[in-house]
Amino acid sequence: MRFKGKVVLVTGAARGIGRAIADAFAGEGAKVVINDINEEAAKAAAEEIKKAGGEAIGIRADVTDYESVKKMVEEIKNVYGTVDILVNNAGYWTIKLFKDTAPEEWERDIRICYYGTLNCTHAVIKDMIEKKYGRVINIVSDAGRIGEPYLAVYSGAKAAIVGFSKALAKEVARYNITVNCIAAGVTKTPGVEGFLKSVGGEEKLIKAYPRGRLGLPEDIANGVIFFASDESEYITGQIISISGGYTTVG
Ligand SMILES: NC(=O)c1ccc[n+]([C@@H]2O[C@H](COP(=O)([O-])OP(=O)(O)OC[C@H]3O[C@@H](n4cnc5c(N)ncnc54)[C@H](O)[C@@H]3O)[C@@H](O)[C@H]2O)c1
């Protein structure tokens, strides 16, 4: 029970990677907030965690909307107290060649990935500074490090989160707050099904993955638990790739 009593906010946690992260923290005794834009799914996920013996609530907020995020953070304070650990996981990607994309699509990718991270981090960081404790873990993508065709705008949005995380890490390190990123490789979630189809299926893609399989949401959750743990308290402004050897940049 490494996170007993800690308040953990995971965005976009009704399904996929976010859900696995929420499950992992609940299993370690945390009070978990399942945020999602899909209210019904967020609340259903929280109920499932409670049935399994964990502590969780589901709250709807659109991470692209600062007012909606601030309202959620106030609600969390009333129920559990201030957020100790924030996992910016909500994301969205348009799969098209850049030449075929429209400005509304750039806006969607950038707003959910980058503004979502800015909004949620800004809404909790002052409380973390006050408490002299905090962990911010941003789920990015190897696309933001090596660039992926058909995902150009998303690649840029994720790279922006990496730059932001490194700068923020330096601003808040003195307050015992760490800010780190996990760059996921292709990970099997409901959201990635369209991408798998567009590249010709899982079997084709696996060939590029030295480990011989695609990622599972639990693989990403394991990295998040590490960055949230006391064992990583001297590690900040870093990015690790969890991709079975697909991406090996330094
Ligand atoms: N799955 C992969 O292969 C992969 C690879 C690299 C990075 N990632 C990143 O991991 C994260 C999770 O991906 P996933 O595959 O689990 O996605 P997913 O689509 O399966 O789940 C995303 C969740 O976010 C929620 N969401 C979307 N917009 C939201 C908003 N505005 N406010 C709040 N919630 C919102 C959705 O309702 C959904 O429940 C994303 O940031 C994604 O970019 C995923």
| Burial of 24 (C-beta count, 10 Å sphere; 0-12/13-18/19+) | buried
Contact between residue 155 and residue 106 where contact means Cβ atoms under 8 Å apart: no
Closest ligand 1 atom to residue 195 Cα is: 3
Residue-level pLDDT at 183: 98
The answer to whether residues 45 and 69 touch, using CB atoms and an 8 Å cutoff, is: no
Q: From ligand 1's centre to the CA of 174, what distance in Å?
A: 31
First vs last Cα of the chain: how many Å apart?
33
Whether 11 lines ligand 1, by a CB cut-off of 6 Å, is: yes
Atom 36 of ligand 1: nearest residue by CA position: 12
Ranges of residues in the chain whose predicted pLDDT is under 70: 250
Judge contact between 179 and 169, C-beta under 8 A: yes
Our answer on whether the CB atom of 194 is closer than 6 Å to any ligand 1 atom is no
- Ligand 1 centre distance from Cα of residue 89 (Å): 6
115 counts as catalytic: no
pLDDT of res. 220: 98
pTM: 0.98
pLDDT of amino acid 250? 64
Residue 117 in contact with ligand 1 by CB distance below 6 A: no
Measured CA to CA, the distance from residue 145 to residue 250 in angstroms comes to: 10
Q: Which pLDDT score is estimated for 13?
A: 98
What distance in angstroms lies between residue 116's CA and the mean position of ligand 1's atoms?
11
The structure tokens 């019904």 sit at: 40
Q: What pLDDT, on the 0 to 100 scale, is given for residue 58?
A: 98
Atom from ligand 1 closest to the CA of residue 14 = 39
CA–CA gap between residue 41 and residue 215 (Å, rounded): 23
CB-CB neighbours of 150 under 10 Å: 18
Ligand 1: atom nearest CA of 217 is 16
213-232 tens-digit pLDDT = 999 999 999 999 999 999 99
Task: Show the tokens assigned to 146.
Answer: 């090596």
Contact at 8 Å (CB) between 26 and 56? yes
Q: Which atom of ligand 1 is nearest to the CA of 111?
A: 31
Set 92, 114, 154, 246: catalytic member: 154
Its CATH class, for the domain covering 7-242, is alpha beta
In sequence order, which residues have a C-beta less than 8 Å from that of residue 83 and are 6 or more positions away?
A: 7, 8, 9, 33, 73, 76, 124, 127, 128, 134
Q: Is 16 in the pocket of ligand 1 (CB under 6 A)?
A: yes
